[in-house]
Structure 1
Amino acid sequence: MRMLLNVRFPHEPFNAFVRDGTIGELIAKILEETKPEAAYFTEQNGGRGAVLIINLDDPSQIPSFAEPFFLKFNADCEFRVVMLPADLAKSGLETIGSKWS
């Protein structure tokens, strides 16, 4: 199942990793381990953030995606199911709409 993982990094310990020069290596290690389909780093509400597109075969995989961010950064993680246009086309919206209109 395709999921959007939204990560919000607190200033610390992220700042400490930037100062000591290890942030790039740490982010690379997490991305190498989790292998997201896509990863974007951005500002979120005035702070640092990331948006990753990941694929879950089973809900039990959620900790393997969240824990690196929890343990290394004290980050907040939100998971959302997302669809491609083809997924939406297969959803049956037409029949759902007529059923509930």
Structure 2
Amino acid sequence: MRVMMKAELDTEKTNDLIRNGKMPQIVQEAMEHIHPESSYFTVDEGQRTMFFVFDMQDTSTMPAIAEPFFMQMGAKIDYTPVMNLDDLQRGLAELR
């Protein structure tokens, strides 16, 4: 299932990661683990925020995906099922 994960990062924890140079490595490791089809990095409601869209093949992977963000960055995590245009068109075609 395609999902979008939103990670709102704790400012103090990520400040420390940036100061000690570990932030790029942590982000790279997350990208290698998740294999997102897209990723975005921004500020949302005053917090450093990351969005990843990826295929979650089994919900049992949720802890392995989220725990590094919780433990290393003090993140708040949300998972949301999402569709791309092809998914939407298939879903709408089934309504007929």
TM-score scaled by structure 2? 0.90
Gaps of 5+ in 1: 97-101
Aligned position for 1:78:
78
Instruction: Report the Cα distance in structure 2 between the residues aligned to 1:52 and 1:6, rounded to whole angstroms.
Output: 7
CA contact (8 A) 1:34 1:64 kept: no
Instruction: Report the Cα distance in structure 2 between the residues aligned to 1:5 and 1:16, rounded to whole angstroms.
Output: 23
Structure-2 change in CA distance of 1:95 and 1:32 (3 Å): closer
Instruction: Report the Cα distance in structure 2 between the residues aligned to 1:59 and 1:90, rounded to whole angstroms.
Output: 23
Post-superposition shift, 1:94? 7.2
CA contact (8 A) 1:2 1:83 kept: yes
Corresponding residue SS for 1:91:
helix
Aligned position for 2:22:
22
Instruction: Report the Cα distance in structure 2 between the residues aligned to 1:31 and 1:64, rounded to whole angstroms.
Output: 13
Post-superposition shift, 1:12? 1.8
The runs of at least 4 aligned residues of structure 1 exceeding 3 Å deviation read 92-96
Correspondence 1:8-19 to 2 at 5 A: 8-19=8-19
Post-superposition shift, 1:54? 1.3
TM-score scaled by structure 1? 0.86
Say which one has the larger Rg: 1
Instruction: Report the Cα distance in structure 2 between the residues aligned to 1:52 and 1:29, rounded to whole angstroms.
Output: 13
How big is each residue's C-alpha offset from its partner over 1:8-58, in whole Å with a ceiling of 9 and x where there is no partner? 001021000111112111211221122212111101101200000011111
Q: Percent identity?
A: 29
Say how many residue pairs are matched.
96
Instruction: Report the Cα distance in structure 2 between the residues aligned to 1:38 and 1:13, rounded to whole angstroms.
Output: 25
Instruction: Report the Cα distance in structure 1 between the residues aligned to 2:66 and 2:14, rounded to whole angstroms.
Output: 16
Amino acid at match of 2:7: V
RMSD: 1.6
Corresponding residue SS for 1:95:
coil
